[in-house]
Amino acid sequence: MLASRLFTVARAFPKHAALGCLVPRLKHTLPDLCYDFNALEPVISAEIMKLHYTKHHATYVNNLNITEDKMADALKNGDINTTISLQPALKFNGGGHLNHTIFWTNLSPSGGGEPTGDLMTAIRDDFGSFENFKKELSATTIAIQGSGWGWLGFNPVNGMLKVTTCANQDPLEPTTGLVPLLGIDVWEHAYYLQYKNVRPDYVKEIWNIINWENVTERFAKARMEKLQ
Amino acid sequence: MHPVCILLVLLSCFSVVSSGTSAPYHGIEKYAEEYPLPKLPYAYDGLEPHIDRATVKVHHTGHHAAYTRNMNAALKEWKNDDTSDSLSRSSLLRILQNLQDIPVQYRTKLRNNVGGYVNHALYWGCLSGNQGNRTPTGTVAADINTVFGSFSAFREKFTAEAASLFGSGYVWLSRQSSTSATAKPPLVITTSQNQDTPISEGLRPVLVIDVWEHAYYLKHQNLRAKHIGDWWALVDWEAVNVLDGWWAKMDVKVHEDL
């Protein structure tokens, strides 16, 4: 098992084959949370935060690692059937890990209010006003059928902001080409214990904890990468 | 009409309406101006200790009720918009079987809300707190053995599908379309996303589990496997056979009409 993994790593880095033999494939891990589980109350309860992070996100991470291991073996063996059959699990668990990693940074106990500077300018340019943008993202997110995410994304082709949604754990960038700036998780596990079936209340309240600093950072980075 | 006949007709109507054994899915096969939230065949705590009262209550009065309201509103809009469209004045079953013929501006709303209304009616209709009906019986049990080899093989496959479904959806045991007036069509396990239903694929569902998180989150949080266990403990095999028979009666009627 170990030998086959080393071979995979060595093949990926042919120039450093010697070094590659010493480095095992890295596993994904849960990112650190920058605040306590109860820090987002009363908007999101400590109970939800704890389950969401230690159970749901952790499961995506574990299953992503398992799927990647299986995929590495299948690729090494030239087993195309297995490689293809693992793709839904890769998208689901990889997407779940990506999405939740972004989500935790999009929220903050000192969040809320409105963005300023370049991000606010871009929102006004592309949506008319912050109110329009907020209404559009909220309505679109609430209307998602089943499980999914509402997103504010950056279009690297035309430099514009766009509101859109993705189903299940489909990751925004590979699915739509948009760079994720702000995501709202509306899987029922994100709000059910507190808001039950009243998703609109959850989406209304979450605006009080949006970390505009983080969204601005993501926007600045995306814009800079577009310019390059 | 002779007064005694009128009386008899009225009495028989009354007995049908007040029979109290009406399944939640009765009525989806005929057109109505508006559809009511189906009554549950049990009290909100009637599925305890397996499915808790709080979950059944919010599932019925929150989720199922919202699908009912939204479905009725969308149907009304569609009917008012096009008084010549006969599909808008068909049964919910017919609408689900002909989604592609719904005008595009109503299609998604109806797919989701008629689906939600019917799917939940079928879900409630397969369960009961009646301990007496826990053993697989009747034609459905026999056909399960034929198709899957044994009940436990069927249960394992069904459970695996329910545990691994990504996102929101359902797992179904259905009969394929009837091609013969005499032979029972074979059983098949399928899954559906969101409020999609195998009825739209021409199938006749006889058993269904709801694995949307709202079906179990209050009690089990992320542990869907526990919900699946609870659900197996509530499947009422007599009700499943009744549902199977209900589809068969409709097939017979169709053949008679032909």
Read off φ and ψ for residue B6, nearest 5 degrees.
-60, -45
CA distance B87 to B124: 27
SS3 letters across B113-162: HHHHHHHHHHHHHCECCCHHHCCCCHHHHHHHHHHHCCHHHHHHHHHHHH
Per-residue model confidence (pLDDT) at position A22: 46
CA distance B178 to B248: 9
Shortest Cα distance from B3 to chain A (angstroms)? 52
Residues of A within 8 A of B222 (CB-CB) are 51, 55-56, 59, 189
Contact yes or no for B194 and A146 at CB 8 A: yes
Per-residue model confidence (pLDDT) at position B96: 98
Residue B249 half-sphere exposure, CB side, CA atoms within 13 Å? Answer: 8
Read off φ and ψ for residue A169, nearest 5 degrees.
-110, 20
B41-71 pLDDT per residue, tens? 999 999 999 999 999 999 999 999 999 999 9
- Interchain contact A143–B (C-beta under 8 A): no
Residues of B within 8 A of A58 (CB-CB) are none
Shortest Cα distance from A148 to chain B (angstroms)? 8
Query: Which residues are B76's β-sheet partners?
Result: none
CA distance A5 to B73: 58
Residues of A within 8 A of B168 (CB-CB) are 146-147, 188
CA distance A42 to A201: 12
List the one residue out of A95, A86, A85 whose CA is nearest residue A66.
A86
Segment B170-197 shows an average pLDDT of: 89
The beta-carbon contacts of A121-128 under 8 Å, at least 24 apart in sequence, are: A122/A160, A122/A161, A122/A219, A123/A161, A126/A160, A126/A161, A126/A162, A127/A161, A127/A163
Task: Give Cβ neighbours of residue A47 (< 8 Å, ≥ 6 apart).
Answer: A193, A194
CA distance A1 to A4: 5
- Considering CB atoms only, which of A51, A146, A197 is closest to B167? A146
B197-221 pLDDT per residue, tens? 999 999 999 999 999 999 999 999 9
CA distance A150 to A165: 4
**Closest residue in B to A148 (Cα–Cα):** B167
Q: Is B253 exposed, middle or buried (0-12, 13-18, 19+ CB in 10 A)?
A: exposed
Q: What integer best gives the mean pLDDT of chain B?
A: 91
Q: Residue B195 — pLDDT band, cuts 50, 70, 90? A: very high
Shortest Cα distance from A213 to chain B (angstroms)? 31
CA distance B55 to A162: 37
| The token pair that represents B193 in the structure block | 């996303």
**Closest residue in A to B61 (Cα–Cα):** A197
B9-37 pLDDT per residue, tens? 555 444 444 344 689 999 999 999 999 99
Instruction: Answer yes or no: are the C-beta atoms of B29 and B204 closer than 8 Å.
Output: no
pLDDT tens across the length of chain A (228 residues): 444 444 444 444 444 444 444 445 689 999 999 999 999 999 999 999 999 999 999 999 999 999 999 999 999 999 999 999 999 999 999 999 999 999 999 999 999 999 999 999 999 999 999 999 999 999 999 999 999 999 999 999 999 999 999 999 999 999 999 999 999 999 999 999 999 999 999 999 999 999 999 999 999 999 999 877
Write the single-letter amino acid at B244.
Answer: D
Shortest Cα distance from B193 to chain A (angstroms)? 8
Shortest Cα distance from B201 to chain A (angstroms)? 20
Per-residue model confidence (pLDDT) at position A2: 44
- Interchain contact A188–B (C-beta under 8 A): yes
- Interchain contact A128–B (C-beta under 8 A): no
Chains A & B: contacts with CB separation below 8 Å? 54
ipTM of the complex: 0.88
CA distance B65 to B60: 6
Percent helix, strand and coil across chain B, each to the nearest 5: 55, 10, 35
Strands A161-167 and A148-154, sheet pairing = antiparallel
- Interchain contact A63–B (C-beta under 8 A): no
* pLDDT surpassing 50 at residue B77: yes
Per-residue model confidence (pLDDT) at position B136: 95
Q: Is B70 exposed, middle or buried (0-12, 13-18, 19+ CB in 10 A)?
A: middle
Contact yes or no for B194 and A56 at CB 8 A: no
Which pTM value belongs to this model?
Answer: 0.89
Read off φ and ψ for residue B188, nearest 5 degrees.
-145, 145
What is the edge-to-edge ordering of all strands in the sheet holding B204-210? B187-193, B169-175, B204-210
Per-residue model confidence (pLDDT) at position A3: 42
List the one residue out of A211, A209, A212 whose CA is nearest residue A42.
A209
The beta-carbon contacts of A136-143 under 8 Å, at least 24 apart in sequence, are: A136/A163, A137/A163, A137/A182, A137/A184, A138/A200, A138/A203, A138/A204, A138/A207, A140/A164, A140/A165, A141/A165, A141/A184, A141/A186, A141/A203, A142/A186, A142/A199, A142/A200, A142/A203
- Considering CB atoms only, which of B66, B166, B212 is closest to A188? B212
Contact yes or no for A145 and B222 at CB 8 A: no
Question: What is the per-residue DSSP string for B170-189?
Answer: EEEEEEPPP--SSSPPPEEE
B82-125 pLDDT per residue, tens? 888 799 999 999 999 999 999 999 999 999 999 999 999 999 99
